[in-house]
Amino acid sequence: MSALAEGALIHYEVEPNYAGWTLAAYVAEKLKRPLPPERLERLLRGRSLVHAEAELLPETRIWAGLRFALRKRSPGDSGEPPRIPILHEDEALLVVDKPAGLALHPTARYHVSTLTWALAERHRNASGEKPDPAHRLDRETSGIVACGRAPVHTRRLKAAFAARQVEKAYLAVVEGSPRDDRFDVDLPLVVGGGRVKVKTRVDAAGAPSLTSCKVVRRYQGATLLRCVPRTGRQHQIRAHLQAAGFPLIGDKLYGPSEEIFLRLAESGGSPAPTGMFDDLITLEERGKLRLWRQALHASGLTLPHPVSGEILRFESPLPDDIAALLETFRPL
């Protein structure tokens, strides 16, 4: 074997003594860490396999001198974040429209590819202070994020959130069709207690949690909802919609099976590029998810200005990927 690492690729050249082996058997033999057969199959049928042949499949019989490469699963950083649309900016408040797939804060997997990196590098105030988000938004969720331009402004915004002086609204595309055009999900929530430590679940001993939902449009097999969380629990909308029987389309944790989330988390690699399914997600699972990310968008935000106290309202339209998804559905 000639295996040479070049950036994110590991190159292979098949030795004569492996001629006639299947590609899958050869790669299984050469990998430093064994992979389950079904995972190796997905790896070799996805974007990870790079070659110049007309066809190269897991079952292909290989020959001496065949050259191909495998992409290494890299850390989550994919370079500088894209340009972040600005909805409002003054000396105390910055409101941005975060794209889906961009992490809010640095983690072990993300450092540069985060909203906070973009804010620190591109939006410091005249005193050199960086803006900081005043609330959370999941990496896969798109939409409005409010930031204080200096620490004192961020503290005031966070205090307004804690005092429930802020209203957030989300657009969510869910499986199924709720009976009523308006309904509340009033179920206590707690984090943890299952296989996924970050997963929120309904529990009688949990914190009181309330989400108000309104049907925006019905489709065959799906519904566009406007959801307003009256409390601020982790994953509240996602957990409440699952508990109500209308899980978010594209949700890998609260959707078809948490096994999808666990498989990706335990792989130790980064997610697929924005807008694409991960190679580790099977074709059947992709069909059930229907979208590469959870179909949740933070579309509205009403809050008091951190200095003047004036009530400000911001809106963000559905992003292109969710709008395109809706175009594939039949309206009712």
Annotated catalytic, 320?
A: no
Tokens 């906070």 label which residue? 116
Backbone angles phi, psi at 74, to 5 degrees: -95, 170
Q: Write the DSSP string, 166-221.
A: -EEEEEEEEES--SSSEEEEE--EEE-SSSSTT-EEE-TTSB--EEEEEEEEEETT
* Residue tagged active-site, from 97, 132, 138, 278: 138
For 227, the enclosing helix (H) or strand (E) is strand 222-229
Q: Which of 144, 136, 224 is nearest to 178 (CA)?
A: 224
Burial of residue 79 (number of CB atoms within 10 Å: 0-12, 13-18, 19+): exposed
Contact 158, 134 (CB under 8 A): yes
Active site residues: 138
